[in-house]
């Protein structure tokens, strides 16, 4: 059974780059598609982007200019970089598996606060 675990700094300064990693266990990362999703406190879910098994990516148009998702197959993990962050990027960030046409399972989430 696939399990996901997000990691990365919990505090990022404005204008800097937010970098998170999602470690995948229980299966090969090469078998599925992978997404990042975020949720500001008290608000709804926003899909950030996806990386396919061939390494291609697709991003939410609202974030596209600032987002990069990459995969490291040797470490069975994938990563999120979000550049030029502002307070509006403060959120819980989740990684998730796309085993079918849905998100399942999800990581537990990691809170990232953007503040000086």
Partner 1 sequence: DIQMTQSPSSLAASVGDRVTITCRASQTISNYLNWYQQKPGKAPKLLIYAASSLQSGVPSRFSGSGSGTDFTLTISSLQPEDFATYYCQQSYSTLWTFGQGTKVEIK
Q: Contact with partner 1 (CB under 8 A): which of 12, 24, 35, 71?
A: 35
Taking CB atoms within 8 Å and a gap of at least 24, the contacts of 88-91 are: 88/40, 88/114, 89/12, 89/18, 89/38, 89/114, 90/40, 90/41, 90/114, 90/115, 91/38, 91/39, 91/40, 91/41, 91/46
Nearer to partner 1, 10 or 61 (CB): 61
Q: How many residues bind partner 1 (CB under 8 A)?
A: 20
Q: Contact with partner 1 (CB under 8 A): which of 21, 27, 57, 106?
A: 106
Q: HSE (CB half, 13 Å, CA atoms) of 74?
A: 0
Give the whole-angstrom CA distance, residue 52 versus residue 72.
12
Among the residue ranges 7-15, 56-64, 70-78, 83-91, the one whose residues contact partner 1 (CB under 8 A): 56-64
Give the whole-angstrom CA distance, residue 85 versus residue 76.
27
Question: Least distance to partner 1 from the beta carbon of 86, Å?
Answer: 22
Interface of this chain with partner 1, residues 57 to 86, rule: CB under 8 A: 58, 60-61
Q: Is 33 in the site for partner 1 (CB under 8 A)?
A: no
Q: Is 110 in the site for partner 1 (CB under 8 A)?
A: no
Under the rule (CB under 8 A), what is the footprint of partner 1? 35, 44-47, 50, 58, 60-61, 94, 100-109
């Amino acid at each position: 059974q696939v399990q996901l675990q997000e990691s990365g700094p919990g505090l990022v300064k404005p204008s800097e780059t937010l970098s998170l990693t999602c470690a995948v266990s229980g299966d090969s990362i090469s078998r599925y598609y992978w997404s990042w999703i975020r949720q500001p406190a008290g608000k709804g879910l926003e899909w950030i982007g996806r990386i396919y098994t061939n390494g291609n990516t697709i991003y939410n148009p609202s974030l596209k200019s600032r987002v990069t998702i990459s995969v490291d197959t040797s470490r069975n993990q994938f990563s999120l970089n979000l550049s030029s962050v502002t307070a509006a990027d403060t959120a819980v960030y989740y990684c998730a598996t796309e085993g079918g046409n849905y998100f399942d399972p999800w990581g537990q989430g990691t809170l990232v606060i953007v503040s000086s």
